[in-house]
Amino acid sequence: MPGNSQRRGAGANRTGKNAGKGTTAGSGGRVRRGLRGRGPTPKAEDRPYHKAYKDKQQREARQPKQSSGPRTPKGVGPEWVIGRNAVLEALHAGLPVRASYVAEGAEHDSRLREILSFTADHSMPMLQITRGELDRLTGGTNHQGVAIRMPEYEYAEVDDLIAAGVESPAGGLVVALDKVTDPRNLGAIIRSAAAFGAQGVLIPSRRSASMTAAAWKTSAGAAARIPVAMASNLNQSLGKLKKAGYTVVGLAGEADADIAAAPGLDGPLVLVIGSEGEGLARLTRETCDTLASIPITSQVESLNASVAASIALYEVSRVRGTGSGE
């Protein structure tokens, strides 16, 4: 095992004439030499063995859990990406990285070498810790000796989306999601929203996908270009948008009106997308000014939420004459 070979090597160094100058047990051996100069040192609060890290964990444990009150949470807990393939894909997909971790004695294969090279080339912090510490941080999952920690996502406010819409020549365009729980759907919708000129995406804080690593990856970089707002009460936020002059159009498969002919597409608009299985909640339907559908054949019951969003956004952009300039 790599750990055993490290201990043997450390003992050999102590008995030779260069005793005290080689690597010592627990220092990481060859891995440490390979990591030397690999980007900036992570912050103290990101080093599991540092007092600042333990202090931060205690502070977070003492903080009250987010209530269901009117205040919108600014962020969620940090997201972990684990495993060599997943970490490598996340790095190449441009996911934001707060810190990278590699276990002492981790076997160097082509994937790990590429990860180390990528983090060094992009000045990303890389911290070597014990395998046991990495086990604890990642909840005992099969991390294969490497993991990256994403920063907390900073959600926008509904007011931010309204302010951005004021500057849009065609009027503001917001995509709101109701009970869309798959983060990959969220990421794909964010990508389509950016492609068709929306000013932002609005999601509820409960019973909804959030900005996880999967959502970031599926957005193909669009999550860095378009804000996502989180509402503690979706219908109140929709009401706020209506007061700001927005027309709220919800997609519903049984609606008689075709989305292409729905009123209000050429002005400030909120397009509300429900889940594929349940559609829009009753209160959300009642909040909408109009319900519209996408015509499909009888051979298919419904469309995936991200597919429906893309089609509807295309129709909106066609009416508004904004095009899709990705």
Residue 326 lies in a domain: no
140/166 same-domain check: no
253 and 294 in a single domain? The answer is yes
Whether 295 and 162 map to the same domain: the answer is yes
Amino acid at 40: P
Distances in Å between the Cα of 215 and the Cα atoms of 106, 129, 234 are 29, 28, 20
* Domain end marker among 149, 175, 206: 149
Q: In this prediction, what percent of the chain has a pLDDT beyond 70?
A: 75
Considering 149, 175, 203, which residue would you say is the last residue of a domain?
Answer: 149
pLDDT of residue 28: 33
In sign, the C-alpha dihedral spanning 158, 160, 161, 167 is positive
Which residue type is seen at 65?
K
Most confident of 41-50, 79-88, 227-236: 227-236
In a domain, 122, yes or no: yes
Nearest to 116 by CA among 97, 101, 132: 101
Which pLDDT tens digit goes with each residue over 271-312?
Answer: 999 998 889 999 999 999 999 999 998 888 889 999 999 999
Query: C-alpha angle 212/214/220, rounded to 5°?
Result: 110
Query: Within a 10 A sphere around the Cβ of 183, how many other Cβ atoms?
Result: 21
pLDDT at 159 over 50: yes
Assess whether 168 and 143 both reside in one domain.
Answer: no
Q: Tell me if 130 is assigned to some domain.
A: yes
CA distance from start to end of the chain: 50
The pLDDT tens digits for 70-113 are 233 344 446 888 999 989 988 988 888 888 999 998 888 999 99
Same domain (yes/no): 61, 169: no
Domain-embedded: residue 143 = yes
The domain that holds 138 is classified in CATH as 3.30.1330.30
173 with 297, same domain: the answer is yes
Domain ranges, residue 86: 5-9+20-149
Query: Per residue in 11-28, pLDDT tens?
Result: 444 434 444 444 333 323
Residues 114 and 170 in one domain: no
Share of the chain above pLDDT 90, in %: 54
Mean pLDDT of 41-50: 62
Measured at the alpha carbon of residue 323, what is the angle toward residues 160 and 94, in degrees to the nearest 5?
60
Both 28 and 130 in one domain: the answer is yes
In a domain, 14, yes or no: no
pLDDT reading at 127 higher than 50: yes
CB 213, CB 95: distance < 8 Å? yes
Q: Looking at the structure, tell me whether residues 113 and 143 fall in a common domain.
A: yes
Question: At 188, which CATH number?
Answer: 3.40.1280.10
Number of compact structural domains in the chain:
2
Q: Are residues 223 and 268 in the same domain?
A: yes
Does 203 lie in the same domain as 290? yes
Domain boundary among 127, 149, 171: 149
Residue 325 lies in a domain: no
